[in-house]
Each structure stands twice: as structure tokens, then as C-alpha cells.
Amino acid sequence: MTSWVALCSQDELQRNGLYVLELPSTSIVVFWAEGEIYAVENICTHDGGELAGGPVDGTTVVCPRHGARFDLRTGAVLAPPAYGPLRTYPAQIREGQVEIQLGDTPR
Ligand code: FES
């Protein structure tokens, strides 16, 4: 069974707009966008750029390195130079806490 991992409070996520979880194996960023939370791998599939800090337009994040665009809801690529989708993670707010499921992500 996959368990939920608590990251931060909803207030903190709303205030900062994002939360980054660094793991030994990867980096995950949770965005607050359009009143929802979205968790995606924080590594652009074009050339490994960090997506945290890239502009968010609606539910689209723009990679700050070369401008690839991704749909935060699905991880799908919306504009090159990236062609592969981002990995997404289930995310929820429970009792005021932001939680994600890491699935089979090595920790
Ligand atoms: S590293 Fe993201 S667009 Fe190039």
C-alpha cells in the first residue's frame, strides 16, 4: 500500500506558491496553481533544468532554462524543446497539510 507523505501546511504552500522536496534519488516540486495543488518531478525532461522558480501560467509551468512548457495537471509537454512528459504524483490537502504519494520513487 502506498502511503501519503506530509510536506508542509496548505498556508505555507499558498504563501510561497511552491514547495520543493529533495530526495536522494530525485527532486519533486508541488505548485499551488489555480486553487489546486500539483506535484511533479522537479527535473525538466529536456536537459534537467529545475522547474521550481519557473513561471506558472494557469496550470502551465515554464522551464526557466529554455522555455519548455508542461501541463501541471498531467505532466504533458505543451511546448518544446522538451518532448517527454514530466512524472506526476498524487497530491492532496488533508487537515490543512499538503501530502503527496511517492509511489515507487526511490527515497
Ligand atoms: S532544460 Fe528545460 S527547456 Fe531545456
Q: Does this model's pTM top 0.85?
A: yes
Mutation test residue for ligand 1: of 63, 78, 83, the one with most atoms within 8 Å of CB = 63
User: Has residue 1 got a pLDDT over 70?
Assistant: no
Note the pLDDT tens digit of each residue in 45-71.
999 999 998 999 999 999 999 999 999
Encode pLDDT of 2-58 as tens digits.
Answer: 789 999 999 999 999 999 999 999 999 999 999 999 999 999 999 999 999 899 999
**φ and ψ at residue 13, rounded to 5 degrees:** -65, -45
Distance (Å) from CA 52 to ligand 1 centroid? 12
To the nearest whole number, what is the mean pLDDT of the chain? Answer: 95
CATH class of 4-101: mainly beta
* Distance from residue 63's CA to the centre of ligand 1 (Å): 6
